[in-house]
Amino acid sequence: MTQADVSFSHLLLGTCDYPEHVPQDRPPVYARMQRELGLSFVRLAEFAWSRLEPLPGTFEWGWLDDAVEAYHAEGLRVVLCTPTPTPPAWLIRAHPEILAFDDQGRVREFGSRRHYDFASPVFREHSRRITRAIAERYGQHPAVAGWQTDNEFGCHATSRSYGGASAARFPEWLREKYGTLDALNAAWGNVFWSMEYTDWAQVRPPILTVTEVNPSHVLDYNRFASDMIREFQAEQVELLRELSPGRFVTHNFMIFESGFDHYDVARGLDFVTWDNYPTGMLELFAPPGIGEDLRTRYARTGHPDLVGFNHDLYRGLLSGGERLGRDGAGTPDGPWVMEQQCGQVNWAPYNPMPADGAVALWTAQAWAHGADVVSYFRWRAATMAQEVMHSGLLRHDETPDRGFAEVAALDQTAFPVGPVPARVALLHDYESLWIYDQQPHAQGLNYWTQTVTYYMALRRLGIDVDVIHADADLSGYAVVVAPAITLVSAGRAARWTDAVNAGAQLVCGPRTAFRTPGGETWSDGQFGPLSELVGARLLQYDSLRPTLRQTVSGAGDLSGTFEASTWAESYRLSGAQALAHYRGGPLDGQAAVIRRGNVTVIGAHSDALIGAVLEGVLGEAGVPVLPVPEGVRVSRRAGQLLVQNWNPEPVEWNGTTLPPVSFVVRPVEAGQPLEGEQDA
């Protein structure tokens, strides 16, 4: 990237502003206030197409020219956007074929946002046209630091369109991938239920079938739709590179968005940004393990690990965690939080007001997890349309809202940029997610739940984690955790084997390596190409309804009794040893946790069991653990330790009293144990 001219040594702040929503005399006032508040960046124009091009080919730049100048005059750097999430009414009515279709086969109409199909050739043309126009106008403006493409790909379930342009393109995509219908039919197992195709045109999007659709069909549709997003964005990125040299190009990804392969889509960007809404995230994405009591406890802050997981995931999108993770370079090259909640949101079932201190705590956590810039959404609360219930830094009447004071009180220099020193990698892969969630086999179980369960166990042990792609370079990690990587190719198995042979500990969750890249099961059974490394094969799997429990009993270092819920699978050993067995039920006496050399597999869902196994493995790998009480979290960056209290009450810990919803930053000697830190 090219942040050279915006280089900085500590966290910087910004906001998202909407000059098109306010009278023309406001941006100069806002720009001054933003500078006085200590903000450095302002993001503009992601939804402004109808004001930039009110009629076909008629551009009105005056209002945006004035706004850009106003921010420039106050020394703010502008992040401009391609306004493609909101094609205007004139374009849609002239070309209704731009519109996307939902999973019920219905057209998704004009009247909100994201109403387009990524595969639409007509929309692609207009996307390039508006990108060229805005980049020609502002690409070399000294205030413009960089670009955001579009806005939150996938938001409102828009990654995939199930008709129109996508339906037309899908057979072509399949033909390119498979070459022949025989190959396609074989790859999808279409002999099952006579689903074999004899003409490419017979293949449709995987919706509205009488009963379950073929999971391999879904897997390829998801890959196809993801490719359409990558192509769509790449066309914009190419133009921005040409017309706005020296500026960065990024995209603002969304919490727990699953609709496309983020690693693939991020590849052409300079760095990644994402949009952090902790309270809404808790309401909408909390896994079953975060029950009503914890949802109440964290209603006004969000849950630290849901937020932390997203930070760690987005930090690892571009280069497997190496950018800021382990190379020590510490260059300020992202990620950023492009939209940081700074008051109430408007889109969750409940939208509690954030606790006093929450905005500052979120900002500090973002920094500790690798963010170089935190930009608050939004500057002033909207006075019109869909988001009037959403807070900004300013209230509707332009007076400072609660978050404003917290931002004003932040000492940005207390947050130096630099590496996050994670020695533990947690593996993630969207294809595993897609195929896992096709056939979860137990209600309430899904890929994110299983993944986040392992992440939370690590965070409770005070561990910094890089979330990286399952095929990323694993060298340098002491412990590699694969919570739910159900799709394992021979190549992936070989890479994991190399990492283990190089000394890493590997810990796998249930259903690891259950499937081939095509989505079928390995015909020699789980663990397919990993069987030799693991020293075992799958014996049985059991799906536990909420009222069923399965006892797991460990021996040796894992001694104790654990209660598993939701899922339990057992193994037939061929070189591995059992560290724990099932007791009672149909799996009685069978192996529940197994180990061969540096490879451990946990077959059952139990927080306590997962925590105990991880603690043991971390100890063996020489990664010091620092167990923290409920709601207390630690993170390290650039030689500093951030201690956070997310609880609504004070906590005494490690010789310090932490007030409710608060943090402290203190230096940590690299490699030195912390006060209270133990070797496991």
Among 17, 117, 152, 615, binds ligand GAL (CB under 6 A): 152
Distances (CA, A) of 513 to 493, 587, 677: 9, 21, 35
Among 64, 155, 229, 552, binds ligand GAL (CB under 6 A): 155
Q: How far is the CB of 454 from ligand GAL (least distance, A)?
A: 27
Q: Which of 531, 475, 469 is nearest to 499 (CA)?
A: 475
Among 390, 402, 428, 581, binds ligand GAL (CB under 6 A): 390
Q: How far is 534 from 489, CA to CA, in rounded Å? A: 15
Q: Within 13 Å of residue 93, how many CA atoms lie on the same side as its CB? A: 6
Site for ligand GAL in 159-218 (CB under 6 A): none
Q: Are the CB atoms for 365 and 308 separated by under 8 Å?
A: yes
Q: Which stretch binds ligand GAL (CB under 6 A): 151-159, 180-188, 204-212, 663-671?
A: 151-159
> Could you say whether residue 18 binds ligand GAL (CB under 6 A)?
no
Q: How far is the CB of 345 from ligand GAL (least distance, A)?
A: 5
Q: How far is 244 from 246, CA to CA, in rounded Å? A: 6
Q: How far is 334 from 449, CA to CA, in rounded Å? A: 27
Find the Cα–Cα–Cα–Cα dihedral 345, 641, 618, 556, rounded to 10°.
Answer: -90
Catalytic one among 322, 339, 569, 615? 339
| Of residues 152 and 270, the one with the C-beta less far from ligand GAL | 152
> Could you say whether residue 118 binds ligand GAL (CB under 6 A)?
no
Q: How far is 375 from 373, CA to CA, in rounded Å? A: 6
Among 339, 431, 464, 542, binds ligand GAL (CB under 6 A): 339
Q: Within 13 Å of residue 50, how many CA atoms lie on the same side as its CB? A: 15
Start-end of H helices in 83-211:
89-94, 121-138, 164-178, 181-188
Catalytic one among 152, 322, 569, 615? 152
Q: Which stretch binds ligand GAL (CB under 6 A): 150-158, 365-373, 397-405, 632-640?
A: 150-158
Site for ligand GAL in 590-649 (CB under 6 A): none
Q: Which stretch binds ligand GAL (CB under 6 A): 61-69, 89-97, 286-294, 339-347?
A: 339-347
| Of residues 41 and 582, the one with the C-beta less far from ligand GAL | 41
| Of residues 280 and 528, the one with the C-beta less far from ligand GAL | 280
| Of residues 31 and 155, the one with the C-beta less far from ligand GAL | 155
Q: How far is 290 from 297, CA to CA, in rounded Å? A: 10
Chain-centroid distance, C-alpha 653: 31
| Of residues 40 and 151, the one with the C-beta less far from ligand GAL | 151
Q: Which of 412, 262, 251, 273 is nearest to 338 (CA)?
A: 273
347 known ligand binder = yes
| Residue 541, beta-bridge partner list | 569
| Of residues 280 and 304, the one with the C-beta less far from ligand GAL | 280
> Could you say whether residue 115 binds ligand GAL (CB under 6 A)?
no
Q: Are the CB atoms for 376 and 336 separated by under 8 Å?
A: no
Among 123, 173, 277, 663, binds ligand GAL (CB under 6 A): 277
Q: Are the CB atoms for 596 and 535 separated by under 8 Å?
A: yes
| Of residues 266 and 665, the one with the C-beta less far from ligand GAL | 266
| Length of the chain as a residue count | 680
Q: How far is the CB of 130 from ligand GAL (least distance, A)?
A: 18
What is the contact mask toward ligand GAL in residues 288 to 327, using x (rule: CB under 6 A)? Answer: ----------------------------------------
> Could you say whether residue 151 binds ligand GAL (CB under 6 A)?
yes
Distances (CA, A) of 192 to 196, 197, 202, 215, 656: 8, 12, 17, 12, 63
Q: How far is the CB of 377 from ligand GAL (least distance, A)?
A: 6
Q: Which stretch binds ligand GAL (CB under 6 A): 149-157, 171-179, 505-513, 653-661?
A: 149-157
| Of residues 127 and 151, the one with the C-beta less far from ligand GAL | 151
> Could you say whether residue 275 binds ligand GAL (CB under 6 A)?
yes
Q: Give catalytic status of residue 339 as yes or no.
A: yes
Q: How far is the CB of 378 from ligand GAL (least distance, A)?
A: 7
Q: How far is the CB of 638 from ligand GAL (least distance, A)?
A: 29
> Could you say whether residue 281 binds ligand GAL (CB under 6 A)?
no
Q: How far is 92 from 87, CA to CA, in rounded Å? A: 7
Q: How far is the CB of 84 from ligand GAL (least distance, A)?
A: 13
Q: How far is the CB of 302 from ligand GAL (least distance, A)?
A: 13
| Of residues 81 and 643, the one with the C-beta less far from ligand GAL | 81
Q: Would you state the structure tokens that stand for residue 673, as one six-digit string?
A: 């144990």
Q: Give catalytic status of residue 136 as yes or no.
A: no
> Could you say whether residue 377 binds ligand GAL (CB under 6 A)?
yes
Q: Would you state the structure tokens that stand for residue 417, as one six-digit string?
A: 């940029």
* Sequence-separated (6 or more) residues with CB below 8 Å from residue 64: 19, 20, 44, 45, 48, 51, 52, 137, 138
Q: How far is 397 from 149, CA to CA, in rounded Å? A: 31
Q: How far is 579 from 312, CA to CA, in rounded Å? A: 30
Q: Are the CB atoms for 577 and 596 separated by under 8 Å?
A: yes
| Of residues 131 and 151, the one with the C-beta less far from ligand GAL | 151
Q: How far is 592 from 582, CA to CA, in rounded Å? A: 6
Site for ligand GAL in 426-445 (CB under 6 A): none
334 burial (CB, 10 Å; 0-12 / 13-18 / 19+) is buried
Instruction: Name the helix (H) or strand (E) containing 246.
Output: none
Q: How far is the CB of 297 from ligand GAL (least distance, A)?
A: 22
Q: Which stretch binds ligand GAL (CB under 6 A): 147-155, 223-231, 421-429, 442-450?
A: 147-155
Q: Are the CB atoms for 417 and 332 separated by under 8 Å?
A: yes
Q: How far is 483 from 448, CA to CA, in rounded Å? A: 10
Q: Are the CB atoms for 131 and 236 separated by under 8 Å?
A: yes
Number of residues that bind ligand GAL (CB under 6 A): 11
Q: How far is the CB of 183 from ligand GAL (least distance, A)?
A: 40
Among 286, 345, 487, 642, binds ligand GAL (CB under 6 A): 345
Q: Are the CB atoms for 610 and 619 separated by under 8 Å?
A: no
Q: Are the CB atoms for 365 and 43 separated by under 8 Å?
A: no
Q: Which residues are annotated as a binding site for substrate?
A: 113, 151, 347
Binding residues for ligand GAL, rule: CB under 6 A, are 151-152, 155, 275, 277, 339, 345, 347, 377, 387, 390
Q: Which residues carry out catalysis?
A: 152, 339
Q: Would you list which residues are annotated within the binding site?
A: 113, 151, 347
